[in-house]
Amino acid sequence: MTRGLDAGGMNSTDLLVVGGGPAGLATAAAAARLGRRVRVLERRTEQRRHSRALVVHAHTLEELEAIDVAQPLIDAGLPSRRLTISRGGRTLLAADFQRVNSRFPYALVVSQEVTERLLQQRCVELGVELLPGTEVVDCFDGGVRLADGQELSAPQIVGADGLGSVIRARTGIGFPGSSDTRHFTLADVRLSGDAPAGLNLHLEPDGILVLGSLPDQLTRIIADAPTENEPSREILQRMLATRGPAGLAIDEVEWSSRFSVQHRLADSFGRGRINLVGDAAHVHSPVGGQGMNLGIVDGIELAQALVDGPEAVELWRVRRRAAARQIVRTTETLFGLATSRQPVVRRIVPRLLGLAGHTPSIPHRLATLASGLR
């Protein structure tokens, strides 16, 4: 038996959420806030130590207000007012978040680890039953089977179990798309020198480099450079020297890693009493920082739809799939252009961006889209 689980789950649980990442926790907190009895089944036993998502956008903060998580996040994060795209020290395009139509006119830079911790705390306050060390191996309409053979049932099930979702696979929902075989560099470092504020994308002849200032004097580095598993300070420093602003030195590497990119969208966001949220339903490159944001909004809106009834759930599936489809397509195109190795594309993209940067409506549109707003 899995700790503390009773097989009569159908009587004691309204909603089983499989996966305790940001999408699952947001779903659970929102459903509990609406009076539902919720269990989150998470196979990990420990909090993830390292961050992936760096930014919480304006629209996500608006949605997080409904579960009282917006303010604690704002207190923990760093508002970034601008996203700049530059080449050779020259700004090509600057998207100004201060002009977007939201109560939160900025991109909030905060590590995913912190976002998850705050969502988890809120779940506990709202009475959600969090069950770490609980792995789901199968599901059916109305229940799930755990690794220890036990079955749990509930009227509604949410698959928030990430890219390799068991729930999606067992429900027979396709997940078509593409996988990039390249690896990309990711690191959080402490810099000396004049570290740039906010979010900065450098499009250099060598490749792209993203620099984002995090709280605690940390800077996030993302680069389209093939690299070893945990790139060393020397490798990161070389990347910074060839692609970043002059005069920056890496004093300390907090952690470093590499990642690969996929662009995929589930054929449907649900079937019967099973629904999918977050990376289980859509995945794309980190360009634009949308993945976690989409997943959190999926979950909060699904919780309301589940309360409103089957028609609302149907509408939710169609609406959220359309929103994800737009993001997956846009990021696939932008990512392909930004990381292309073709000399012609590498020459043309900065020129086009320079032109776009001088057309006032385009930077504004980019800031609005990146913020998850219309």
Ligand X SMILES: Cc1cc2nc3c(=O)[nH]c(=O)nc-3n(C[C@H](O)[C@H](O)[C@H](O)COP(=O)(O)OP(=O)(O)OC[C@H]3O[C@@H](n4cnc5c(N)ncnc54)[C@H](O)[C@@H]3O)c2cc1C
Closest approach, Cβ 360 to ligand X, in A, equals 26
Nearer to ligand X (CB atom), residue 133 or residue 247: 133
Residue 102 CB, nearest approach to ligand X (Å): 16
Which range, of 19-27, 238-246, 248-256, 366-374, touches ligand X by CB under 6 A?
A: 19-27
Q: Closest CB to ligand X among 169 and 193?
A: 169
The footprint of ligand X on this chain (CB under 6 A) covers a number of residues equal to 33
Residue 179 or 192: the one with the smaller Cβ distance to ligand X is: 179
Residue number with CB closer to ligand X (172 or 360): 172
Q: Is 9 in the site for ligand X (CB under 6 A)?
A: no
Least distance in angstroms from the C-beta of 299 to ligand X: 8
- The residue assigned the tokens 């999926």 is 298
Question: Which residues in the 61-80 window bind ligand X by CB under 6 A?
Answer: none
Within 188-227, the residues that bind ligand X by CB under 6 A are none
- Residue in 42, 62, 129, 224 binding ligand X, rule: CB under 6 A: 42
Name the residue among 129, 108, 178 with its Cα closest to residue 24. Answer: 129
DSSP string, 146-210: ETTS-EEE-SEEEE---TT-HHHHHHT----EEE----EEEEEEEEES-PPPSEEEEEETTEEEE
Shortest reach from residue 297's CB to ligand X, in Å:
10
Q: Closest distance between ligand X and the C-beta of residue 26, in Å?
A: 8
Could you tell me if 287 and 172 are in contact, meaning their C-beta atoms sit under 8 angstroms apart? no
Residue type, 110: V
Residue partners of 46: CB distance under 8 A and separation at least 6? 132
Taking the complex as a whole, the smallest distance from the CB of residue 183 to ligand X amounts, in Å, to 11
Q: Between 194 and 267, whose beta carbon lies closer to ligand X?
A: 267
Which residue in 77, 143, 162, 196 binds ligand X (CB under 6 A)? 162
Whole-angstrom distance, CA of residue 299 vs CA of residue 269 = 12
Smallest distance from ligand X to CB 31, Å? 15
Tell me: does residue 231 bind ligand X (CB under 6 A): no
- Binders of ligand X in range 83-142 (CB under 6 A): 112, 135-136
Could you say whether residue 302 binds ligand X (CB under 6 A)? no
Please give the span between the terminal C-alpha atoms of the chain, in angstroms, as a whole number. Answer: 48
CA distance 98 to 330: 23
DSSP assigned state of 232: -
Min dist CB 144 to ligand X, Å, is 8
Q: Which stretch binds ligand X (CB under 6 A): 35-43, 189-197, 227-235, 339-347?
A: 35-43
Single residue of 9, 14, 17, 24 touching ligand X by CB under 6 A:
24
272's tokens: 């019967």
Chosen residue from 62, 188, 279, 301 binding ligand X by CB under 6 A: 279
Please give the residues from 233 up to 272 whose contact with ligand X meets the rule CB under 6 A: 259
Q: Are strands 218-223 and 184-192 parallel, antiparallel or unpaired?
A: antiparallel
Which residues are CB-neighbours of 90 under 8 A, at least 6 positions away? none
Per CB under 6 A, the list member of 143, 207, 231, 291 interacting with ligand X is 291
Residue 307: exposure state from Cβ atoms within 10 A (0-12, 13-18, ≥19): middle
Block residue for tokens 């009493």: 273
Interface pick for ligand X out of 143, 198, 231, 289 (rule CB under 6 A): 289
Look at the block and give the residue holding tokens 């993945």. 291
Which segments of the chain does DSSP mark as H helices, in order? 9-12, 22-33, 58-64, 70-76, 112-125, 166-171, 233-243, 291-308, 310-338, 343-357, 361-370
Which residues contact ligand X by CB under 6 A? Answer: 18-24, 41-44, 52-55, 112, 135-136, 160-162, 166, 186, 259, 278-279, 286, 289-293, 295
